[in-house]
Amino acid sequence: MNSKKLLLILVAVVAIGIGSVFLFTGSFALNGNEQASTSEPGNQPNQEEVVTDVESLEKIAKTLAIIQEQYVEEVDEETLIQGAIEGMLDTLDDPYSVYMDQETANQFVESLGSSFEGIGAEVSMTDGTVTIVAPFRESPAENAGLQPNDKIIEIDGESTDGLSLYEAVLKIRGEKGTTVTLTVERAGANELLTIPVIRDDIPIETVRVSTIERDGQTIGLLDITSFSSDTADRFEEGLEELEAQGIDGLLIDVRGNPGGYLDSVEKIGKLIIPGGEPIVQIQDRTGERVRYVSSLDERKPYPIVGLTDRSSASASEILSAALIEAGDYDVVGETTFGKGTVQQTIQLGDGSELKLSLFRWLTSAGNDINGEGVEPTVEVMQPDYFYSAPLTGNETLTLDMMNEQTRSAQTMLKGLGYETGRTDGYFDEQTEEAVRAFQQAEGLNVTGEIDEETASSLQQIIVDEVREESNDKQLQTAIELIIKQAQQ
């Protein structure tokens, strides 16, 4: 391909990109029932700017031609172009703006369907490292013990260094029943963690509806696992079902929810946020804002309480902030992840796509939570064993060893009532006695050592304890709070 032909293609790509951005801006405003802003003639690029842009594109085309014709080794043209695009995105220092080739773009579309096969986790590229944003609720990723901000260093023993985000995603995803082993770096851990995850079908059931009976009160629970294209409809159906039962209060749980479509959370906001209050504000690069205001006829006659954790991201944070700032409702749990930008997928014409950050979103009151998160009104941490790294059983843990696996085992044993005396990862005699007591209680071979059988048993019991509703301090606190408010 000669440089003039490439130049024409680059100009066309730029034109397509600009058109996509303006189209998105217009549809974005219309989705929010707001008047779309239009571009004035004075905002169009002048002739001097166009000439500069063409000169810059000529430089790119010339560089490509020189490399193709003179570099010491033959280089694939598509690889060079893809590298140029990824290089431009790297300079943005934005983990959410990424390039997807045709194969990855197809995989991305599949993940938005009714189900897909994989581990069930939202990931991003942070400081050049593939990083867990949030594992989906009750997914293989969560069950294996992956946590927000875990940095994936290796996939099946191969370094992730140099991989793009979506190249890493393709390696992590795979057929149901197969295992992918992730080596992760976790803040506070003194060594890398090796975490095997068994892939499974990841259903996209985005809203779960249930009720809780307590102290003569019926509390509705809407658990939102992600914000997909039909989530608002499912939420509305669930809300109508609960209200028909005459609920005394409503819990909205977005813990472990990595986010999703903005218009979905906007529609949900209009079902529960008092009319006339902004649900979210969207700010473009010039600082211009569009407010998305609730049109709810009247405030709900029952109290509402939200639930968040460190895995609640993006659209989850929009809803949580709206509950606090616009609804004057309580939110129980932990400070959220802190993702405050909005992405749009822009097609590049050959099946490949750009997923580009086009806007910042601000809370109802105009606060920017990017990198900060939304603080709950009632902060509640779960028991320590909820956050412990999983036991792999790859190595028998014995007296005088010191490592992260021992630390996790100590935390788990202490949570189950076996006093280890310490949780710093040093396997001392008191830890050995706690292990013996656990082994005896569970009918295991009493050795005082944590072998594969003991590790597996301890890990499974902890998983069961985490799933036990009565151990969920955040949920129990939210229930108590909503009963108190319903009785006032």
Smallest CA-to-CA distance from 270 within 233, 224, 307 is with 233
Q: Mean of the per-residue pLDDT values for the chain? A: 85
Catalytic residue among 343, 344, 439, 459: 343
Work out the pLDDT band at 325, boundaries 50, 70, 90.
very high
Q: Is 397 exposed, middle or buried (0-12, 13-18, 19+ CB in 10 A)?
A: buried
The first and second tokens of residue 162, run together, are 């140099």
Q: Could you report the per-residue pLDDT of 51-81, keeping only the tens digit for each? A: 566 777 888 888 888 998 999 999 888 888 8
Average pLDDT over residues 266-272: 97
Query: Going along 376-457, which residue ranges are E strands?
Result: 378-379
The first and second tokens of residue 316, run together, are 């989850």
Q: Could you report the per-residue pLDDT of 328-360, keeping only the tens digit for each? A: 999 999 999 999 999 988 988 888 889 899 999
Catalytic residue among 151, 339, 355, 414: 339
pLDDT at 46: 56
Q: Say if residue 2's pLDDT is above 60.
A: no
Q: Say if residue 154's pLDDT is above 70.
A: yes
The answer to whether 376 and 335 have CB atoms below 8 angstroms apart is yes
- CB within 8 A of 404, min separation 6: which ones? 189, 190, 191, 193, 389, 425
Catalytic residue among 314, 344, 408, 474: 314
The first and second tokens of residue 215, run together, are 């102290």
pTM: 0.77
Q: Could you report the per-residue pLDDT of 231-265, keeping only the tens digit for each? A: 999 999 999 999 999 999 999 999 988 888 899 99
Respond yes or no: is residue 314 known to be catalytic.
yes
| Cα dist from 69 to 54, 62, 343, whole Å | 22, 10, 37
For residue 180, what are the β-bridge partners? 197
pLDDT at 300: 97
Average pLDDT over residues 200-222: 91
